[in-house]
Amino acid sequence: MKLALFNLDHTLLDADSDCLWGRFLVQEGAVDGLRYARENARYHADYRAGRLDIHEFPAFGLRSLADNQPQQLGHWRRGKPGSIPIPTTTCRCCRPSTIPWP
């Protein structure tokens, strides 16, 4: 099996997907919003400082998946489109004025 991973943060998405995921979890009542935001902010600070624990951070990010039943995960996956607005890109290369039209 082949696996391809893409990071769309601040490229095709004008946001951080981790923050969007956290917002979704809070909206769904799956996590305590203040506690989640505090932990997430700590990880982002560690990342910027070059000391992110590469094993601890994914465990934090995936905990909400491990702590819920498959039925709940399926409900989230089938959720209402647009329930969490995803900001679109503002990168210069994707603005219509920079695309050469025939």
User: What pLDDT shows up at residue 52?
Assistant: 92
Total domains in the chain come to 1
Contact 44, 10 (CB under 8 A): no
Residue range 56-75: mean pLDDT, rounded: 89
Tell whether 59 is covered by a domain.
yes
Tell whether 52 is covered by a domain.
yes
Tell whether 83 is covered by a domain.
yes
pTM: 0.65
More confident residue, 8 or 48: 48
Q: What pLDDT digit, counting tens, does each position of 27-40 carry?
A: 888 888 899 889 98
Cα 89 to its chain centre, rounded Å, is: 15
User: What pLDDT shows up at residue 14?
Assistant: 72
Q: What pLDDT digit, counting tens, does each position of 11-20 carry?
A: 776 777 777 8
Categorise residue 24: left if φ over 0, alpha if ψ from -120 to 50, beta otherwise: alpha
Tell whether 7 is covered by a domain.
no
Which domain range does residue 54 map to? 17-72+79-97
Cα 67 to Cα 36: distance, rounded to the nearest angstrom: 14
Cα 76 to Cα 78: distance, rounded to the nearest angstrom: 5
User: What pLDDT shows up at residue 101?
Assistant: 38
